Chains A and B, each alone.
Chain A
Amino acid sequence: MPRINSPSELEKLREEIKGKRDPNKPCITLCSGTACQASDSESVSQAFERELKRQGLEGEIDLRRTGCHGFCERGPLVVIYPEEICYTKVKPEDALEIVQSVREKKVVDCLLYTDPVTGARIKREPEIPFYENQQRIVFGPNRWIDPKNIEDYLFLGGYRALSKALFEMSPEQVLEEIKKANLRGRGGGGFPAGRKWEETKKTSREPKYVIVNCDEGDPGAYMDRSLMEGNPHSVLEGLIIGAYAIGSHEGFVYVRQEYPLAVENLEIALKQAEEYGFLGENILGSEFSFRVKIHRGAGAFVSGESSALMNAIEGRLGEPRMKYIHTAVSGIKDRPSCLNNVETWATVPLIINKGAEWFNSIGTDKSKGTKIFSLVGKVNNTGLVEVPMGMTLRQIIYDIGGGIAKGKKFKGVQTGGPSGGIIPEQYLDTPVDFDELTKLGSIMGSGGMVVMDENTCMVDTARYFINFCCEESCGKCIPCREGLRLLREILNDICEGKGKENDIELIEDIAETMRDASLCALGTTAANPVLTTLKYFGDEYETHIKEKRCPAKFCKNLIDYWIDSEKCQACMICLRNCPTEAIQGGKNLLHWIVQEKCIKCGICYEVCPPRFGAVVKLSGEPVPPPPAPGTEVVRKEGG
């Protein structure tokens, strides 16, 4: 491919690509994001290839492997174009029938999504409630693009914003547009991107750097990964536009090495962008030159913090520093360095193309545009969702997420990862944006949204996050390092039934010190999960401390497994599966657990057939005595 040297050449190429593509030609798209790959979309892809070849349809039906579509719960996902017929949980053996149906313009009913409420089968992807209630402006193109093929991105108008910025706008105008759009950083902080860009731009020292932060470390969050894997050019285009506005000629993409597919697709995208002249010297024939390097992160949560990340890029320890001088002014090698998150950069081309006014028409007063959330946990429709800012938690969890899994009761939703908090039911109608969730003591953060039900113990959840931060704290400052260690000890004690009366006071005291005195945001916000659970679920702490009881029956040391003699049908299943031979009894003889031998692994509880439900968890009550050895079972009628 010869490089493109002007905007008109770019549009000419785009027309050529469009000319080659027949909009009515059937295309089978297959989600190949990490989540679908984990459910073996690779084999499905191979099955389609074989089937198309076998039926001699390779020229008539296209096959495209795209990035993540978002509806991970139902993966691997297949969508047939132009009709947009969506098939879920597709297996390799379904390939034959699907290919046949495409050829005959029919629909494979049994693979369609079935609405759990109405029982109706839904044919078209946009009509599935999970998608219907979203507004996918940033994430949407993922489903049409083969991330390894730049032509797919160009077909959809890719790099038009770059061409517009370079040839129709001055750097100042680009900056002004981003400022007017009120684009706020999607990585969690919500700092206005335009102001950050301006700060770097105004700093006189050279060179200036621009950086993509793809060190997505929040457990239970994978928005940035899916965007980087599925549509890397959108991130690059945003970065190049930013570099032009700021006056930078060198950029970095910091991406976790734990995301091998993101690294791979990004490497390909970089190479293609260079070949086509979107990167390198005199981009698109303009005066502007810009290069990008990839830096793989080696696994440290704290390195996602901007100053720490810049240290890592220099090959040093990924530890943060005090930021009384912003990294926008003094970052990599003490040079002005502007860092934004993946989603923020990917939003930039949209704003340049459609204008700040359009962007301002979406969202709330102070939070504009959309946000991608990773909706996970005890929710029916796990996946990635993109909604306008201001949609309520209830709409996201119930209308899009389909409510709580297995008919359980909602208890709380954790937003913002380890720096966030847990929001209880009474605040489900809160609109989600940067400021509203902060008022509740949580944050919107980068977009993690973990739904919890009645079986989740809030004290244990707080302990989980503290333990996470404790392991990830770099240890540079004492409030964070020692505060977390102490909090972990106290919470461990509470979960193990060794909590003391004044523990809560102590927790609050330590949390306050950490918030006021820690060096970076990891430390200042680490206590949020504890503080919010104390605020909204304080009674659970009380029960753990005073009654030595875990209401959710989750904390191992506070529960006992027990077999209800009235329900046990002596089916031998738990007895055979118990790894420590703690279950006594026998054929036709009631089973019971020798408590001294029980390691509380939970196997008996899981294997006991639900129709018996004989194994139960007890907390805060004495274990009833076992039946007399050799007691015969009383069979249930029909059992």
Chain B
Amino acid sequence: MVGVSGLVDKVVDGYQRDKDMLIQILLELQRGFGWLPEEALNEVSRQLGVPLTRVYQIATFYKAFSLTPKGRHLIRVCVGTACQVRGAPLIRDRVQHLIGVEPGETTPDMRFTFETVNCLGCCAMGPVMTVDNDYHGHLSIPDVEKVIGVYK
């Protein structure tokens, strides 16, 4: 198993230690770890020679980054305009009620991380949610419980 600094080393090298590539490097690390551990951010700062404040500035500005670990399954409810007019708010509320956490949070048992997204680009299926890589479209409110129940 490659440690945190090992992976950071590899990714930073892959971008020729170019400071301009900070966002791309953090994206790779986010993908590798599933989130951005403090240790990784320290390591990026050290290896790239970029102040830690700037690393944190980037890591907190962009939505792709998470400073907390994610759950085993990622639930994303689309709240794009097309889904919104087709009743996405009620789907979102239903998920929230069922798993007991708000968008942006992870359940204490690490089973689910819950997010809302602004458009999944499959508006014909709205309202739509994804769990991990599976799309669930044309949702009605009662469907939500069945969908979520599949992911343990």
Query: Given A39-B137, A257-B64, A601-B90, are A377 and B81 neighbors across the interface (CB < 8 Å)?
Result: yes
B82 at the interface (CB under 8 A from A): yes
Query: Given A296-B24, A577-B142, are A34 and B124 neighbors across the interface (CB < 8 Å)?
Result: no
Residues on A with beta carbons closer than 8 Å to the beta carbon of B79: 219
A378 at the interface (CB under 8 A from B): yes
B141 close to A72 (CB less than 8 A): no
B122 close to A38 (CB less than 8 A): yes
Q: 1/0 per position for B114-130, CB-CB distance to A under 8 A?
A: 00011111111110100
B109 at the interface (CB under 8 A from A): no
A448 at the interface (CB under 8 A from B): yes
Q: In the docked arrangement, what's the CA distance between A601 and B117, Å?
A: 20
Q: Among B19, B62, B87, which residue has the most Cβ atoms of chain A within 10 A?
A: B62
Tell me which of B84, B93, B120, B140 contacts A606 (CB under 8 A): B140
Name A453's closest neighbour in chain B (CB-CB): B85
Residues on A with beta carbons closer than 8 Å to the beta carbon of B120: 34, 38
Residues on A with beta carbons closer than 8 Å to the beta carbon of B142: 577, 603, 606-607
| Contact segment of A3-11, A309-317, A357-365 | A309-317
| Contact segment of A144-152, A297-305, A510-518 | A297-305
Tally of A interface residues using CB under 8 Å = 60
Name A299's closest neighbour in chain B (CB-CB): B63
Q: In the docked arrangement, what's the CA distance between A30 and B61, Å?
A: 39
Query: Given A220-B81, A376-B124, are A606 and B141 neighbors across the interface (CB < 8 Å)?
Result: yes
- Minimum CB–CB distance from B64 to chain A (whole Å) comes to 4
Tell me which of A218, A300, A314 contacts B63 (CB under 8 A): A300
Query: Given A72-B123, A374-B123, A383-B124, are A298 and B81 neighbors across the interface (CB < 8 Å)?
Result: no
Q: In the docked arrangement, what's the CA distance between A225 and B123, Å?
A: 13
Q: 1/0 per position for A439-481, CB-CB distance to B under 8 A?
A: 0000000001011110010000100110010000010000000
A38 close to B137 (CB less than 8 A): yes
Interface positions of A from 27 to 70, Cβ below 8 Å from B: 34-35, 38-39
Q: In the docked arrangement, what's the CA distance between A75 and B58, Å?
A: 38
Q: In the docked arrangement, what's the CA distance between A300 and B79, Å?
A: 16
Query: Given A378-B85, A603-B142, are A257 and B124 neighbors across the interface (CB < 8 Å)?
Result: no
Query: Given A220-B119, A318-B62, A606-B142, are A448 and B137 neighbors across the interface (CB < 8 Å)?
Result: no
- Minimum CB–CB distance from A562 to chain B (whole Å) comes to 17
A599 at the interface (CB under 8 A from B): yes
Q: 1/0 per position for A211-252, CB-CB distance to B under 8 A?
A: 000000111111001100000000000000000000000000
Q: In the docked arrangement, what's the CA distance between A474 and B62, Å?
A: 10
Q: Among A301, A383, A606, which residue has the most Cβ atoms of chain B within 10 A?
A: A606
B90 close to A602 (CB less than 8 A): yes
- Minimum CB–CB distance from B81 to chain A (whole Å) comes to 4
A493 at the interface (CB under 8 A from B): no
Instruction: Classify the interface of chain B: helix, strand, loop or mixed.
Output: helix
Name B58's closest neighbour in chain A (CB-CB): A317
Residues on B with beta carbons closer than 8 Å to the beta carbon of A577: 142
B85 close to A601 (CB less than 8 A): no
Q: In the docked arrangement, what's the CA distance between A599 and B141, Å?
A: 13
Query: Given A299-B64, A300-B62, A606-B142, are A220 and B20 neighbors across the interface (CB < 8 Å)?
Result: no
Name A414's closest neighbour in chain B (CB-CB): B81
B21 close to A315 (CB less than 8 A): yes
B118 close to A468 (CB less than 8 A): yes
- Minimum CB–CB distance from B103 to chain A (whole Å) comes to 11
Q: In the docked arrangement, what's the CA distance between A599 and B94, Å?
A: 10
B123 close to A376 (CB less than 8 A): yes
Residues on B with beta carbons closer than 8 Å to the beta carbon of A218: 119
B27 at the interface (CB under 8 A from A): yes
Query: Given A72-B122, A317-B61, A318-B61, are A450 and B85 neighbors across the interface (CB < 8 Å)?
Result: yes
A298 close to B62 (CB less than 8 A): yes
- Minimum CB–CB distance from B138 to chain A (whole Å) comes to 10
Q: In the docked arrangement, what's the CA distance between A535 and B83, Å?
A: 25
B141 close to A219 (CB less than 8 A): no
11 contacts between A and B (CB under 8 A): A34-B121, A219-B82, A295-B23, A316-B22, A377-B86, A383-B124, A417-B81, A456-B85, A599-B97, A603-B141, A606-B140
Question: Could you tell me which A residues sit within 8 Å of B by CB distance?
Answer: 34-35, 38-39, 72-73, 75, 217-222, 225-226, 257-259, 295-301, 312-318, 374, 376-378, 382-383, 414, 417, 448, 450-453, 456, 461, 464-465, 468, 474, 556, 577, 579, 599, 601-603, 606-607
